[in-house]
Amino acid sequence: MDSVTGLNRNCGRRKRERASRRDLHNDDCRACHEGRTTPVLGFSALQLSPDRDPNAPHAQFHDAPGYEDYYYDLPPHRPPSFNEEDVSDKPAWLQALPLMNNNQIAQVETRRRQQLQMIRPVDDAIQDIFSLLIDQGRLDNTFVFFMGDNGYFWGEHRIPMEKNRVYEEAQRVPFAVRFPPLAPVEEPRVEHRLVANIDIAPTIYQVAGMPIPAHVDGRSLIPLLRGSSRWRSALLFEGRPNPAFQAIRTDRFVYVENTNQRSELYTLGRDPYQLENVADDPGYAELVKELSARLAEF
Ligand SMILES: [Ca+2]
C-alpha cells in the first residue's frame, strides 16, 4: 500500500491511474482502495481537483484504519424517539415495524461508532485541502460547501439503519459554507432559515457571475450570506420507499402525505422528536388543509 495515496500497488498502473483520476465511487476503483476511500479522495482533491467529496461515513461501514480505538466509550444514543414505543399515531408501514431487540440495538451502536470513526479521516482530508489552499493563497477566494448527502437513522422511531424516510433524522444534514468575501470568517453565524442541497447549483452560478437557468431548482444562497430578510418559507420533501411520500416542511411544521396511508403532521416546536402525529386532531384541521394546498403547489 502506498502510504501517500492509499492505493494498492498490486493494482495495474492503468487501474491505479483510473482510481486516482476518475470517478472514485465506482466498484472498479474501490477494489484498489482496500477500504481506504476517504484518504484517497483527500489526496485526489489535493492533487487533481478540489471538488471531490469524501465517501465516508457512507456504506460500506467498517472500522476506520488508524482510528480503530476511537469512540469505544461512546454513550448510547437514546433520544426520546429511540425505539418509539407508542406508534399508534404513525402510518401503517411504521406500525408494522416491531420494537428493535437487543441484538438489533447492538448492531445500531456498532454502526454508529464505525460511522463516527469513518468521519475522522474526512476531518484530516479537509485540513489538508485547507492547508494546500492557504499555501496557494487561494483560501479566502474559495467558496467552500461542507455537507452530508443525507441524514441517517440510528434506531429512532424503531428504524434501525436507513435513510429514505421523512423524519428529521434522515432529512437534516450538516451544512456549512465558507466564503470570506461575503461572510467574514471572524464572525461565524448559524442560519436557521430553510436551505437545501438544491441551493448549491444556483449559488455557484451566481458566484461565477453567470445567469441561473430557469430550469434549475433552488435559490442562490448569496442573499442569505448578505443578510437579506427575504427567503423561502417552506421546502418540499419527497421519497419513494413504500409508501412513497410528499411532505412540506416549514420552520414550525412538517405535513406528510403518504401514498395510500394516513397523513402526518408534526409540530416541531412542541414535538421536535416527532412522537405525536396530530394530522387527525380536529384542532389542526385548518392547518392541514392549508399545508395540503401548499404541498399541491410544489
Ligand atoms: Ca408516537
Overall domain count for the chain: 2
Q: What is the pLDDT at residue 134?
A: 93
Residue 64 belongs to some domain of the structure: yes
Tell how far the Cα of 76 is from the centroid of ligand 1, in angstroms.
21
The DSSP result for 244-258, as a single string, is -EEEEE-SSEEEEEE
175 and 241 fall within a common domain: no
CA-nearest of 155, 47, 44 to 107 is: 155
Percent of the chain with pLDDT strictly greater than 90:
65
Residue of 10 and 236 predicted with greater confidence: 236
* pLDDT (mean) for 141-155: 92
Residue 224 belongs to some domain of the structure: no
* pLDDT (mean) for 195-209: 96
* CATH number of the domain where residue 291 is located: 3.30.1120.10
176 and 253 fall within a common domain: no
64 and 176 fall within a common domain: yes
Residue of 17 and 83 predicted with greater confidence: 83
Alpha helices for 162-199 (secondary structure H):
168-171
* pLDDT (mean) for 140-164: 92
Band (pLDDT 50/70/90 cuts) for residue 149 is confident
The DSSP result for 78-123, as a single string, is --TTBT-S--TTS-HHHHTSPPP-HHHHHHHHHHHHHHHHHHHHHH
Residue 139 belongs to some domain of the structure: yes
Residue 12 belongs to some domain of the structure: no
Tell how far the Cα of 274 is from the centroid of ligand 1, in angstroms.
7
Q: What is the pLDDT at residue 42?
A: 52
Q: What is the pLDDT at residue 143?
A: 93
Tell how far the Cα of 86 is from the centroid of ligand 1, in angstroms.
5
Q: What is the pLDDT at residue 53?
A: 38
Tell how far the Cα of 84 is from the centroid of ligand 1, in angstroms.
6
* pLDDT (mean) for 274-298: 98
Tell how far the Cα of 246 is from the centroid of ligand 1, in angstroms.
20
The Cβ of residue 285 has, within 10 Å, a number of other Cβ atoms equal to: 11
Q: In what order do the strands lie in the sheet with 235-239?
A: 235-239, 245-249, 253-258, 264-267
* CATH number of the domain where residue 116 is located: 3.40.720.10
Tell how far the Cα of 99 is from the centroid of ligand 1, in angstroms.
13
Tell how far the Cα of 250 is from the centroid of ligand 1, in angstroms.
21
**Cis check: omega of the bond before 50, within 30 degrees of 0:** no
Q: What is the pLDDT at residue 45?
A: 54
Residue 274 belongs to some domain of the structure: yes
178 and 239 fall within a common domain: no
- Residues 239-260 as b/e (b if ≥16 CB within 10 A, e otherwise) read beeeeebbbbbeeebbbbbbee
CA-nearest of 150, 173, 177, 180 to 241 is: 150
Domain that holds residue 149: 50-182
Instruction: Give residues whose Cβ lies within 5 Å of ion ligand 1.
Output: 86, 89, 275
Task: Decide if pLDDT at 126 tops 60.
Answer: yes
pTM, entire model: 0.81
Tell how far the Cα of 89 is from the centroid of ligand 1, in angstroms.
5
Tell how far the Cα of 276 is from the centroid of ligand 1, in angstroms.
5
Tell how far the Cα of 279 is from the centroid of ligand 1, in angstroms.
13
* pLDDT (mean) for 198-213: 96
58 and 156 fall within a common domain: yes
pLDDT one-digit tens code per residue, 217-255: 999 999 999 988 899 999 999 999 999 999 999 999 999
Q: What angle do CA 123, 128, 130 make, to 5 degrees?
A: 95
**Among all chains, which residue has been given the C-alpha cell 464505525?**
114
Spatial separation of the C-alpha atoms in residues 4 and 128, rounded to whole Å: 12
Tell how far the Cα of 278 is from the centroid of ligand 1, in angstroms.
10
176 and 59 fall within a common domain: yes
Tell how far the Cα of 67 is from the centroid of ligand 1, in angstroms.
37
Percent of the chain with pLDDT strictly greater than 70:
82
Residue partners of 59: CB distance under 8 A and separation at least 6: none
Band (pLDDT 50/70/90 cuts) for residue 24 is very low
Residue of 164 and 45 predicted with greater confidence: 164
Note the residue count of the chain: 298
Q: What is the pLDDT at residue 120?
A: 86
Integer Rg of the chain from CA: 22
Band (pLDDT 50/70/90 cuts) for residue 46 is low
Tell how far the Cα of 174 is from the centroid of ligand 1, in angstroms.
26
Tell how far the Cα of 85 is from the centroid of ligand 1, in angstroms.
7
Tell how far the Cα of 87 is from the centroid of ligand 1, in angstroms.
4
Q: What is the pLDDT at residue 21?
A: 38
Out of 11-25, 55-69, 84-98, 120-134, the most confident range is 84-98
Residue 24 belongs to some domain of the structure: no
Tell how far the Cα of 81 is from the centroid of ligand 1, in angstroms.
8
54 and 166 fall within a common domain: yes
Average pLDDT, the chain: 84
Residue partners of 147: CB distance under 8 A and separation at least 6: 173, 174, 175, 176, 197
pLDDT one-digit tens code per residue, 249-275: 999 999 999 999 999 999 999 999 999
Residue partners of 55: CB distance under 8 A and separation at least 6: 24, 25, 37, 38, 41
